[in-house]
Amino acid sequence: MKCLFFVLLIAGGAYYLVWPNTYLSQDNISFLPKPLIRFYLEKMNTEYVNVTIDNDEKKLKYSDLGMTLDVDATMEQLRIKSLTGLIDTWIVSFSGYTLTHIEPVFIVNDNFDLLVSQNIPDTRVVEETFSYDKNNGVFVYSSQERGARLDRTDLRSKLVALNSFREKQILVNRIPETSYLEKKVQEVNNKLSTIYRLPIEIIIEGTNEIIEIGSQDILSLFGVEYSEDLRNVQFTVDKNSLSRFLATTPMRTISVDWASKKIKDTLVQRYDDGVITPVVLGIDTGPNTDGTLAKKYIEVDISQQKLYFFEGGEIFKSYSVSTGLGYATPTGKYKVRNKSPMGFSGIFNVWMPWWMAFDYRNDIGAYLGIHELPYKLIGGIKIYRFGNYIGTKKTGGCIALSPGDSKEVYDKSFIGMDIVIYP
């Protein structure tokens, strides 16, 4: 009887006490009474925890962060379901070969991150600025103090690992955060690096000759304009410097405006898409303007005997023309003043299809215009006065185009459209 009583006493004590080699989180709770463990677990839900961040201390309860320690679920891990299991557990535990780890069970609400932010606010960036370093072609970012957010994963894991047998103090860190502006500076600098990494190649049209604009020359010839938030970055051209650069190359006769446009277009393509392509330019060809005079306009270059039709900042097409010989075609800025599918010159007694007047000359008492090669009708047959002389100076001051070309220009033009004529 005494032996049975002794066995029951030992078994009851074993049920009542935590088995050997048992840890609650990091603390050894072997042989401690289970009611004492429950008492301390319940107390954890009401006690404050000292959370230290950057030398600042916050006193918080688990409930402040939307966390609750589930005492029953935690204690359930210490329950022995049978006498046989109890004896086996104690025998194995006393052998010293087995360690049992019990982790506190927490219920974490979905608003954990929100509550952490409310109780431990993130630090904000202070006085951030940026500037453009032209010598190196990059933007430089600086701030008096960078923004940082609390490492919520670290905080959560340390709160879960904390139990009532340890000092209720934990240290957590803030993670530096990159602000929108700093990210934008990095993004823009990455794009700019594609511009300066390789030289710009200019292929001289009709030849195998290539001119290179190296990285340092790109920096000296081109600059940037940008918005306050760096959402909009545009390239500028130092046309005086570009003119001096081109003067040392076979491209010295090309229009600086046109060359700067074509090169700038290449820079934009590199910046936007990372695509690196050469620029193709002719030695003596190309317009004088860069496509920005109007959304749609006509440029005529008398020295080249060329008409350039611009649309949307680009050349839609270029055409050979004939300008004035006996009476010089005037230079300057004009507009399409009137249009007619068929014009007639009383001075030369010729028909002028696809007529577009751009100027009235008092000295000859007539309009000058853009039109098709003029002709006379003799016996119903078109007779061109000098044959097809497009490409040479031959007109009486007008600008003549070949049949077909003239209708295309006429159809794409409108009254009031800009015309600019260069000598």
In Å, what is the CA distance from 374 to each residue of 144, 304, 324, 356?
74, 21, 13, 13
Domain end residue (candidates: 260, 286, 312): 286
The predicted structure's pLDDT at residue 7: 42
Task: Please give the structure tokens belonging to residue 16.
Answer: 């009542």
Residues 105 and 218 in one domain: no
Residues 192 and 265 in one domain: yes
Residues 93 and 121 in one domain: yes
Residues 273 and 307 in one domain: no
The predicted structure's pLDDT at residue 91: 57
- The rounded distance, in Å, linking the Cα atoms of 193 and 274 is 10
Residues 195 and 162 in one domain: no
- Give the residue numbers spanning the domain of 378: 293-423
The predicted structure's pLDDT at residue 1: 46
Residue 84 lies in a domain: yes
- The rounded distance, in Å, linking the Cα atoms of 261 and 256 is 8
Residues 276 and 330 in one domain: no
> Are the C-beta atoms of 94 and 145 separated by less than 8 Å?
no
Residue 205 lies in a domain: yes
What's the pTM value of the predicted model, to 2 decimals?
0.62
Residue 271 lies in a domain: yes
Residues 77 and 203 in one domain: no
Domain end residue (candidates: 253, 286, 319): 286
Residues 258 and 334 in one domain: no
Task: Please give the structure tokens belonging to residue 193.
Answer: 């690096």
Residue 378 lies in a domain: yes
List the strands of the sheet with 279-281, edge to edge: 210-213, 200-204, 279-281
> Please, which residues bridge with residue 401 across strands?
321, 372
Residues 387 and 406 in one domain: yes
The predicted structure's pLDDT at residue 254: 86
DSSP for 358-383, written as a single string: EEEETTTTEEEEEEEPPEEEETTEEE
- The rounded distance, in Å, linking the Cα atoms of 71 and 172 is 25
- The rounded distance, in Å, linking the Cα atoms of 108 and 305 is 81
Residues 24 and 89 in one domain: yes
Residue 46 lies in a domain: yes
Q: Is 351 helix (H, G, I), strand (E, B) or coil?
A: strand
Domain end residue (candidates: 286, 315, 350): 286
The predicted structure's pLDDT at residue 157: 85
pLDDT tens digit at each of 423 positions of the chain = 444 433 444 445 556 888 788 888 778 888 899 999 899 888 888 888 888 888 888 899 999 999 999 999 999 988 865 555 555 555 555 555 567 888 889 999 999 999 998 998 888 888 999 999 998 999 999 998 888 888 888 888 888 877 555 567 888 888 888 999 999 999 999 999 988 888 999 998 878 889 999 988 998 999 999 998 899 999 998 999 999 998 898 888 888 888 888 899 999 999 999 888 898 887 766 898 989 999 999 999 999 999 999 999 999 999 999 999 989 999 999 999 999 999 988 888 899 999 999 999 999 999 999 999 998 888 777 887 766 789 999 999 999 999 989 999 999 999 999 999 999
With tokens 């402040």, the residue in question is 64
271: CATH:
3.10.20
With tokens 């701030």, the residue in question is 143
Residue 140 lies in a domain: no
Residues 59 and 159 in one domain: yes
Residue 144 lies in a domain: no
Residue 314 lies in a domain: yes
Domain count, the chain: 3
Residues 29 and 165 in one domain: yes
